[in-house]
Amino acid sequence: MTERPGIELSEVLAQAREHYIAGRPEGARLHAEATRVMPGGNTRTVLYHPPFPLRVASGKHQRIVDVDGHEYVDFLGEYTAGLYGHSPEPILDAVREVLAEGISLGAHNRYEAQLARLLVDRFPAMELVRFTNSGTEANLMAISLARVVTGRSAIGVMRGAYHGGVLYFGGQGSSPVNVPFETVVMEFNDIEGAREAIRDNADRLAAVIVEPVLGSGGVILGDEEFLSALRDETAANDVLLILDEVMTSRLSPQGAGELFGVTPDLMTVGKYLGGGMSFGAFGGRADLMARFDPSQPDALPHAGTFNNNVLSMAAGIAGLTKILDDERLRDLNRRGALLRAELEGVMVPHGWAVTGRGSMVGIHPVPGPVNTYADIADADDRLRELLYLDLLERGYYMAPRGFIALSLEITDADIAGFVAAVDDALASHR
């Protein structure tokens, strides 16, 4: 996508915004109302984009409809949480059943151990597991556990990583609202740099936390040798390794750790594993997780009113037992590989790079290759926004930053249509 002769990119983007506004009067009205009671009309930063964010009214299968009646094929997949698509009947049936039995029971229920068994059986790294309400909470608990058991305070993180709303290391580094953990920042996919950082800081590092694919940081694929080096170096220096698989557990039936041949000490998950409800979990080695055993006198506390809420438990069970099987998951990731290959064919000639693995895809207005967060740091966000708006007008929805996560409902025909829409959008601004 390049500028038209005599027309500045900013002018083209301004025209696209005006077209967006003209077609969404109800969205504009609702946003104006929201700004009166919420800062910027927003309570989830990632969903905001100018001139005002898309407001969705409903979703079914792989399609969503906004409040102005426009329909889109959903290629965002709720940032990986929407793996099952919108409103699948087995999950709706499970939720309806537990709603009839009572929502907040204030006690152990008959669902939590069932879901725990499904996760422990699914992920080799999880010998024991505990539930939270989000991936953010899961990562906070895993990190806090590592700090307790090692007696050290610092955490190794990757530049560009996102481990939750208070564990963000993009841009120039740590977010101003991050929890005040002492951190050692490493470069993703830099093997020797990571080895050196771990060795030099072993006396204060409790753990290194890493995503096998840098999700919010650009869907950048971790190099297998890099992840193996992290495993070897942390083990050699008595530092724990935490795999944040809140996004990437969808990349194979046993998670991305198994895919890359890396078994961590602790692992965090979330998103789709709660069946579309609020959910997170952390687990790992039995000797580490046993520190939360409340029957022991020195047990660590882990509270949370809704950790075992019946809606998330029942929805998670239904998704894993009535919808998802290994073959469907492998087919989904095959479809993602097809999408990435097809997108490369139409985007690389325009100077765009395509990243990711399986059903997680990222697109960036840089020539590539993209191996680290620094490789996309200078990307022009105006080009990202223009493509996002152009695709909305063609009936396709993805994240404004170029993030794509496929659901099980996406078909090969949907992929062909999306690729054609991208090709047409880029060609229209040549």
Residue 26 lies in a domain: yes
Q: Check whether residue 42 and residue 107 sit in a common domain.
A: no
Q: Can you give the residue range of the structural domain that contains 172?
A: 89-323
**Residues 34, 42: contact at Cβ < 8 Å?**
yes
Q: Is residue 4 part of a domain?
A: no
- Domain boundary among the residues 323, 345, 362 is at 323
Dihedral sign from CA coordinates of 352, 221, 267, 210: negative
Adjacent-strand bridge partners of 186: 158
pLDDT of residue 170: 85
Q: What is the pLDDT of residue 237?
A: 98
Residues 280 and 412 placed together within one structural domain of the fold: no
Residues 155 and 253 in one domain: yes
Q: Which of 287, 305, 323 is the last residue of a domain?
A: 323
- 234 and 346 belong to one structural domain: no
Is there a single domain that holds both residue 174 and residue 47? no
Cβ atoms of residues 189 and 239 within 8 Å: no
| Mean pLDDT of successive 10-residue stretches along the chain, which has 430 residues | 63 96 98 98 96 98 98 98 97 97 94 98 98 98 98 97 95 85 97 98 98 97 98 98 98 97 98 97 98 97 97 98 97 98 98 98 97 95 97 98 98 98 93
Q: Are 127 and 239 within one domain?
A: yes
Please report, for the domain that includes residue 401, its CATH number.
3.90.1150.10
Query: Do residue 276 and residue 131 come from a single domain?
Result: yes
One-letter amino acid of 137: E
Question: Is the domain of 231 the same as that of 150?
Answer: yes
Q: What is the pLDDT of residue 56?
A: 98
pLDDT, residue 3, reads 43
| 3 within a domain of the structure (yes/no) | no
| Same domain for 181 and 122 | yes
* 14 and 56 co-located in one domain: yes
Domain finish residue from 301, 323, 345: 323
Position 227 in a domain = yes
Is 1 within the bounds of a domain? no
Whether 303 is in a domain gets the answer yes
- What pLDDT does 174 receive? 83
Q: Report CA-CA distances (Å) from 72 to 14, 22, 66, 284.
A: 22, 17, 8, 39
Label residues 72-91 b or e (16+ Cβ within 10 Å = b).
bbbbbbbbbbbbbbbebebb
Using a cut of 0.75, tell me whether the model's pTM lies above it.
yes
Report how many domains make up the chain: 2
Contact 71, 310 (CB under 8 A): no
CATH code for the domain of 247: 3.40.640.10
CA 371/CA 218 separation, integer angstroms = 10
Same domain, 234 and 302: yes
In a domain, 374, yes or no: yes
- State whether 159 and 181 are in the same domain: yes
Q: How far apart (Å, rounded) are the C-alpha atoms in residues 371 and 70?
A: 36
Determine, yes or no, domain membership for 2: no
